[in-house]
Amino acid sequence: MNWYMVPKDTPNARAVNQELYYLQVTSAAALLNQVKVAYPGDPLIGFQIPGTNLLWEQLTEVQKAIFNVAAEGGSTVDPVALQGNPGPQVLWNQSYTQWGLPGILTQ
């Protein structure tokens, strides 16, 4: 299987790619369950990402990984790297919005 990885020039690419590997080996059912459990308590819902017009719930998993790794390392998020790396349009990379949240929580 070919694994998706962010380009090597992406800030913190190695750490970001480690997070993305986990998502790519997780089953669809587990991903959906994870989203349903995480969304209701996610304190970043409604948070606008600095330097962008994106809300947290609009970020793909690739973008969340870029954001989280930068934040955990104490650095600011490069908005160009964030917006320029949405990643592939595949199930494991969907944003909360793409999953249909909050609507799917009632299903």
Residue 7 in domain:
no
Q: pTM (2 decimals)?
A: 0.88
Q: Report how far residue 75's alpha carbon sits from residue 27's, in angstroms, rounded to the nearest whole number.
A: 32
Instruction: Give the domain range for residue 102.
Output: 13-106
Other CB atoms within a 10 A radius of the CB of residue 86 amount to 17
SS3 52: coil
Residue 2 in domain:
no
Q: Which residues pair with 55 in a beta bridge?
A: 48
Count how many domains the chain has: 1
Give tens-digit pLDDT for 15-73: 999 999 999 999 999 999 999 999 999 999 999 999 999 999 999 999 999 999 998 88
Query: Is the alpha carbon torsion for 5, 2, 95, 17 positive or negative?
Result: negative
Q: Could you tell me the CA-to-CA distances from 16 to 13, 33, 36, 68, 90 in Å, in that order?
A: 5, 22, 23, 9, 17
